[in-house]
Amino acid sequence: MGAGGAAGAALPGERVRISRLTRMLESQKVLAAALLAPGVVILLLFIAYPFVMALWFSLTSIRVGDPGEFIGLANFAKAWSDTIFQTAFKNTVFYTFWATIFKLALGMWLALLLNRHFRFKRLIRASMLLPFIIPTVLSAFAWRWMFDPTFSVINWLLYHSGVITDRLPFLSDGDWAMWCAVLVNTWRGMPFFAITLLAGLQTISPDLHEAAALDGANAWHRFWHVTWPLLIPVTLVVVVFSVIQTFSDFQLIYVLTGGGPANSTHLIATYAYQVGVASGLLGEGAALSLFMFPVLFAVVWVQLRFMKRMEGA
């Protein structure tokens, strides 16, 4: 009796609390803040905090086990005059440029092919994503074995089929190693381009193509004057994502070449890791990695400006 009375007494209170909460959430401002809060907390914790810490580290002489002291821009000045960093910067630009070009060209080609009707279309579309799904470390290890200086299966096949008489220096020659890294990055990143562009292609009404065909446009003209202009917004987004990921790539190079031979394939991220984490010079490593920020910021800014202009048009 007593317990039943207590429960009965609690119910109106519950109603009051629920209705207050509901009333609060009816306000658009409060609802928006409530919905945004988890995202903002995650961003603050995992993006803003590490970024601010990296910024602070880059201005100090911190090294492993020693908090160091404020030294202004000395780490940036040291990095700027560091020839290995200069090489790594050039490598990063080269790697990003060529990998993005290949991913875009091949991804577009693949997307156009997959946009057609053929048997097992769904299965092939799904399987095409495999390189993107497999963890980069695993696929990079597999490629490393295929490019192994002594036991490369590619060299073995070419040698035994009489195409070559000497082993190809896949990873032991600086230029070859860099192109191998571009190839692996392209292999890995192309499905992302293809699937995203395919999604873009499927939003284009077939009527537009039919109308162009009736007007006498051939396949190239239809692509250039109908498909491409309508795909530009999607392409821009996918290119920006890819540039950001490729410019800050780490895993692939770390596993495939370790930055060698003789720093020929070091990227900013791998060199920053070598200096900051492996050598324990955390301040210098942070400064090196922050050199990526203005470049990536500029890329995003240009892209956003371009998209805004297109929306305006």
Partner 1 sequence: MKRRKFLKSVGAGVAATGLGGILAAHRAPVFAQASTVHILRWNDFVPAADKVLREVYVPEVQKALGIKLNVETVNANDIPARATAGIQSGSGPDIIMLLNNYPQLYAAGSVDVSDIAGEVGKAQGGIYDLPKSMCTVGGKWVAMPWATVPALLAYRKSWFDEIGVKEFPKTWAKYHEAGKKLKAAKRPIGQTLGHTFGDAPTFAYPIMWSYGGQEVDAKGKVVLDSKETVESVRFMTQFWKDAHDEGGLAWDDSNNNRSFLSGDICASLNGASIYVAALNGADKFKTEKGAPLHTDILHAPLPAGPKGQYAYHTAFTHMVMKYSKNAKAAKEFLRWAHTKANYEKWVVVQKGFAVGPTRDWEKHPMWDQDPVMLPFKTASRMGRHMGFAGAPGKKAAEAWNKYIIVDMYAQAASGKMKPEESVKWAAGELRKIYT
How far CA 62 is from CA of 65, 94, 191, in Å, comes to: 8, 31, 41
Q: Which one of 227, 264, 283, 292 is in contact with partner 1 (CB under 8 A)?
A: 264
Cβ proximity to partner 1, 172 vs 303, nearer residue: 172
Q: How far apart are CA 294 and CA 134, in angstroms?
A: 31
Cβ proximity to partner 1, 25 vs 64, nearer residue: 64
Q: How far is the CB of 81 from partner 1 (least distance, A)?
A: 7
Q: How far apart are CA 7 and CA 97, in angstroms?
A: 68
* Rg (alpha carbons) of the chain, rounded to whole number: 27
Q: Which one of 59, 110, 194, 281 is in contact with partner 1 (CB under 8 A)?
A: 281
Give the residue among 236, 246, 231, 211 at the shortest CA–CA distance from 109: 231
Q: How far is the CB of 76 from partner 1 (least distance, A)?
A: 14
The site string for partner 1 over 122-161 (x = CB under 8 A, - otherwise) reads --------------------------xxxx----------
| 73-92 binders of partner 1 (CB under 8 A) | 78, 81-84
Asked if 251 interacts with partner 1 (CB under 8 A), we say no
Give the residue among 311, 272, 202 at the shortest CA–CA distance from 57: 272
Asked if 262 interacts with partner 1 (CB under 8 A), we say yes
Asked if 200 interacts with partner 1 (CB under 8 A), we say no
Sign of CA dihedral 194, 200, 202, 208: negative
Longest CA–CA span in the chain (Å) reads 96
Q: Tell me the site size for partner 1, rule CB under 8 A.
A: 37
Residue entry with tokens 């192994």? 148
Give the residue among 260, 247, 245, 98 at the shortest CA–CA distance from 177: 260
Q: Which one of 59, 282, 287, 295 is in contact with partner 1 (CB under 8 A)?
A: 282
Q: How far is the CB of 10 from partner 1 (least distance, A)?
A: 45
Cβ proximity to partner 1, 278 vs 313, nearer residue: 278
Asked if 280 interacts with partner 1 (CB under 8 A), we say yes
How far CA 215 is from CA of 16, 170, 219, in Å, comes to: 68, 50, 12
Q: Which one of 100, 104, 107, 174 is in contact with partner 1 (CB under 8 A)?
A: 174
Binding site for partner 1 (CB under 8 A): 64-66, 78, 81-84, 148-151, 167, 169-174, 177, 257-264, 273-275, 277-282
